[in-house]
Amino acid sequence: MASNLPSPLTSFIGRQREIAEVKRLLATTRLLTLTGAGGSGKTRLAYELGAEALQEYPDGVWAVEFAPLSDADLVPQMTASALGVPEHPGWSLTESLVQHLRARSVLLLFDNCEHLIPACAALAEALLRGCATLRILTTSRERLGVTGELSFLVPSLSLPDPASLPPPERLTQYEAVRLFVERAAFNQPGFTSP
């Protein structure tokens, strides 16, 4: 299956409710932005959703990782290189991307757009206008502000209430505890949950 999604190095925890809700929203819109505080798990959720959606997009799920990019002018270039779209003489890269995507069924994942919102919004809008079967899932601390965009606020992983903690053996029902236990065991073999 066509995709540039990296294989995750750690297991994915919880989020059944959020996955169901995001899938429902993605079926009703062509641009969905996962918003939320830094570190709430937007990127991890988006990649999980991308992997689960592979069967639905015959031409693939393609991720563009904007976190390391500081120059907004390079947003189309980064997208073209993620998709393997070459430059065409006389065309802008956005036009080349539209030509490439217009007859394809693709899910694009724009990851970490928050510092490049106007450029990501402009590209997303041009691609969606030019490519009828394209869908875009983005992660960004703030929504892009494009017409037709829906957003979903990603909550933090679930946590117990410190004022009424359950018995230790029941703590792993909480996602944040499971993440902590898994990462601790990864770094310190032999570490086990309560």
Ligand X SMILES: Nc1ncnc2c1ncn2[C@@H]1O[C@H](COP(=O)(O)OP(=O)(O)OP(=O)(O)O)[C@@H](O)[C@H]1O
Cα–Cα distance, 190 to 194 (Å, whole number): 12
| Number of residues that this document lists for the chain | 194
Q: Which amino acid is at 2?
A: A
Q: Does 43 bind Mg ion (CB under 5 A)?
A: yes
In degrees, rounded to 5, the angle at the alpha carbon of residue 12 between the alpha carbons of residues 10 and 18 is: 155
Q: Does 38 bind ligand X (CB under 6 A)?
A: yes
Q: Are 64 and 110 in contact (CB under 8 A)?
A: yes
Structural element, H or E, at residue 94: helix 93-101
Residue 138's binding partner out of ligand X, Mg ion, none, with CB under 5 to 8 Å set by partner kind: none
Q: From residue 106 to residue 135, what is the string marking binding to Mg ion with x (rule CB under 5 A)?
A: ------x-----------------------
Using CB under 6 A, which of 3, 35, 43, 79 touches ligand X? 43
Give the shortest CB-29-to-ligand X separation in angstroms. 20
Question: Whose Cβ is closer to Mg ion: residue 15's or residue 100's?
Answer: 15
For 72, which DSSP code? G
Q: From residue 107 to residue 126, what is the string marking binding to ligand X with x (rule CB under 6 A)?
A: -----x--------------
Q: From residue 10 to residue 29, what is the string marking binding to ligand X with x (rule CB under 6 A)?
A: --xxxx--------------
Structure tokens at 4: 């540039």
Q: In whole angstroms, what separates CA 128 from the centre of its chain?
A: 17
Residues contributing to the site for Mg ion (CB under 5 A):
42-43, 112
